[in-house]
Amino acid sequence: MKKVLSKTTRLNRIYAFKNTVLIVMCLVFMCSCSNDDDRAPSVKTKEISQEIKDLIHFRGDEKAETVMVLIPGGPSTEFATDFVDDLAPIFSPEGILTVTVHQAQTLNPDIVAGTDITLTQAASFNTQSIEMLSNVITYFKDQGRTVYVLGYSFGAFVTQELIANKGIDIANKYLIISGRLDINDVIWQAAAEGKNGYFENGVTPIVELNPHPNVIERNYNRISAELSMNRYTQLFNTIEDLSSITYIYGDSDEAVGSLTTNEVQFLESKNTNIINGPGDHTTTFLNLIPQGLEVAFGIVLQ
């Protein structure tokens, strides 16, 4: 599997790993939370409003004091209900409500079908997705709940765009897995043209010569490109402290590439918690998510 910002379409979709290790984790591991100090001691919550239910898929106690918002790989027109269904059993013993939020293309799949979209249209779709995500998070935070955000692959870029647009305090803490702050120009520019790319050995960007033959895949690439073109080291530079973020990356990530020295140094300068391993795009998630959950949210898998 190579081809990057379309692999934030296929490989990045959670279905690439949902039938493997995560299912085993759900069956074998029990979780406990050691960071209870992050949670409000007495939260008066209620059942989720229908307006919010129309935007989300969820599992767990509707009145739970902690909400885990999962942002999957993609983009895709398929609503990532399996992402929640597979991970919720890990969190439910601690009373965590597990949620994923619709994106523009999951609410209306027709927007990426039929004809090629422009980068401007892709930006509009991503703006809609960020607004829905922000509205859901704000809804729960306004009730006094603790909100954690976990973004993987394309979801990592969505999480970064959320922070860039809404501020670091929009949620309580973040776990960003297999993303990039400043992805190579040649990769996002190719994706903007509907082309596929990947990183050989997680370092060298390789671009296919021709656009993807499938219009939907070309449009997925453009939606990815519109986020990955952003320089998050610049957008985050005004944020003094990023210690609420835990960032996981793999040295041989063929889909988005490994973080560069400059990206790592930037995160370190902002007090970000960084977890690094030798894995590719998928194995980085599978191998490092237990450590990531503990460092980011105090969730210990035993």
pLDDT in tens, 233-292: 999 999 999 999 999 999 999 999 999 999 999 999 999 999 999 999 999 999 999 999
* Per-chain mean pLDDT for the chain: 88
**Mean pLDDT, rounded, for 110-115:** 96
Specify the pLDDT at position 37: 43
Phi first, then psi, for residue 275 (nearest 5°) are: -125, 130
- Residue 56's SS3 state is strand
pLDDT band at residue 47 using 50, 70 and 90 as cut-offs:
confident
145 touches 65 (CB < 8 A): yes
Q: Cα–Cα distance between 251 and 201 in angstroms, integer?
A: 8
* Residue keyed to tokens 């610049």: 234
Which residues are registered as beta bridge partners of 301? 31
Burial status of residue 245 (CB atoms within 10 A of its CB: 0-12, 13-18, 19 or more)? buried
Tell me what the mean pLDDT of segment 127-135 comes to: 98
- Rounded Cα distance, 17 and 7, in Å: 13
Q: What percent of the chain has pLDDT above 90?
A: 80
Residue 82 binned pLDDT confidence (cut-offs 50, 70, 90): very high
Instruction: For residues 100 and 81, give the distance between their C-alpha atoms in angstroms, rounded to a whole number.
Output: 7
DSSP secondary-structure letter at 33? E
The per-residue pLDDT for 209 is 93
Report the distance separating Cα 194 and Cα 185, nearest Å: 14
- Please name the residue ranges forming H helices in 92-213: 104-107, 119-142, 154-166, 185-192
